[in-house]
Amino acid sequence: MNRSWIIAGVGLAALALVPFVASPYVLHIAVQILIFGVIYTAWSFMGRFGLTSIGHGAFLGIGAYTTALLWNLYGVTPWIGIPAGMALSVLLALVIGYPCFHLKIVGHYFALVTLALGQVIALLVIAARDVTGGSLGMTPTQVGESIFAFQFPNRTHFYFIALALWLLVLGVWYWVGYGMRRAALDAIGEDETAAAAAGIDVMREKLRITVISAAITSLGGSVLTQYLMYLNPETVAGVGISLQIVFAAIAGGMYSALGPTVGALLTLTLTESLRILFGTHFIGAANTIYGILLILFIVFLPRGIMGLIEQFSLFRGTREKESRLPL
């Protein structure tokens, strides 16, 4: 226990130093890794307990567009816009989640319902092109460095915002994932009927993680938009980004706290290095390799990179214990 606290402390200190040593380009990537880390972690809240959503783009899109539209059309500060987006996402999660869980829609069926949900939001954004700019996307009105407008062109400032957010979400992860609740959720993931028979309120537990997941995804979408200052239905809603979320979380390892962030690190590094390597001449090269990797991960490594690391260290741990056993 003590050792892991020391490792965490050193890690945090190293993360806090990043903006002072990294080049602006590296810092730009680091901010995105942290924000996508938040989004992928949010998905894993549901994913690790067997609620596989392939429509999380819906919540991402609601967060991004609510914040940007309120700001552009009515001058409402993102400090209200972001919670408003989260509230809308939570509402949608409840409207969809309640009947789904009530009717025991699971597995394929649940995945396809979420797919439809993602499509609905993406199509609505495209259809309302008068205000959202449709497929061309939109930019929030820029006012320069402003706390009121939640705009921080200074990357270092944004880095610390993203870092704080990421730590907060990790905190939520530990809060959700420990004690009886964790056991209850694991039981639900294994066998719903048996869990219900054991006295677990399946509906309440599932709704709780769905709502948390939707709220954080929405928050991630808003913050991402405030950082990139551009949004379009392809990048924050729809099938593409929804699948990207699933894959990055699985590749990193959705069962461990740091897994989804490792997924963000892996995918963004891969995309960026392929972009540098091939330039824009080979559009699609990154996603081609990405696609193959994902198939390989699901076939050979369904618990992701962190799963592999944990398995390895667990194995080492048991060996140490075994050697201490009195003969």
Partner 1 sequence: MDIFLLEAVLNGVMFGGLLALLALGLNLIFGVIDVVWICYAELVMCGMYTIYWLHAVYGVPFPLAAVAAILLVALLGVLLHRIIIEPILGSAPINQLLATGGLLFFLQSFATLLFTTDFRNVGIHLPSLELGDINLGYARILAFAVALVGAAALYLFLARTYLGTAIRAISQDREIMGLMGVDQRRIYLITSAIGGGLAGLAACLLVLQYDVHPFVGLSFGPITFMICVLGGLGNMIGGVIAAFIMAQIIAIGGYELSVEYSEVLAFLVFIVLIMVRPQGILGK
Binding site for partner 1 (CB under 8 A): 50, 52, 54, 96, 99-100, 103-105, 107-109, 111-113, 115-117, 119-120, 123-124, 126-127, 238-240, 243, 246-247, 250, 282-288, 290-295, 297-299, 302
Q: How far is the CB of 187 from partner 1 (least distance, A)?
A: 16
Q: How far is the CB of 113 from partner 1 (least distance, A)?
A: 6
Residue 195 has φ and ψ, to the nearest 5°, of: -65, -45
Of the pair 81, 118, the CB lying nearest partner 1 is at 118
| CA distance linking residue 273 with residue 94, whole number of Å | 40
Of the pair 147, 298, the CB lying nearest partner 1 is at 298
Q: How far is the CB of 107 from partner 1 (least distance, A)?
A: 6
Of the pair 94, 124, the CB lying nearest partner 1 is at 124
Q: How far is the CB of 205 from partner 1 (least distance, A)?
A: 19
Of the pair 170, 268, the CB lying nearest partner 1 is at 268
Q: Which residue from 218, 80, 230, 81 is spatially nearest to 141, judged by alpha carbons?
A: 230
Q: Tell whether the torsion through CA atoms of 214, 51, 307 and 28 is positive or negative.
A: negative
Of the pair 78, 263, the CB lying nearest partner 1 is at 263
Q: How far is the CB of 247 from partner 1 (least distance, A)?
A: 7
Asked if residues 32 and 18 have their Cβ atoms less than 8 Å apart, the reply is no
Q: Which residue from 41, 85, 92 is spatially nearest to 63, judged by alpha carbons?
A: 85
Of the pair 50, 137, the CB lying nearest partner 1 is at 50
| CA distance linking residue 305 with residue 317, whole number of Å | 18
| CA distance linking residue 267 with residue 33, whole number of Å | 9
325: left (phi over 0), alpha (psi -120 to 50) or beta: beta
Asked if residues 231 and 138 have their Cβ atoms less than 8 Å apart, the reply is yes
Q: How far is the CB of 234 from partner 1 (least distance, A)?
A: 9
Residue ranges of the alpha helices (H) in 141-284?
Answer: 155-177, 180-190, 192-197, 202-228, 233-236, 238-252, 259-278
Of the pair 11, 99, the CB lying nearest partner 1 is at 99
Helix/strand/coil (H, E, C) string of 265-300? HHHHHHHHHHHHHHHHHHCCHHHHHHHHHHHHHHHH
Q: How far is the CB of 53 from partner 1 (least distance, A)?
A: 10
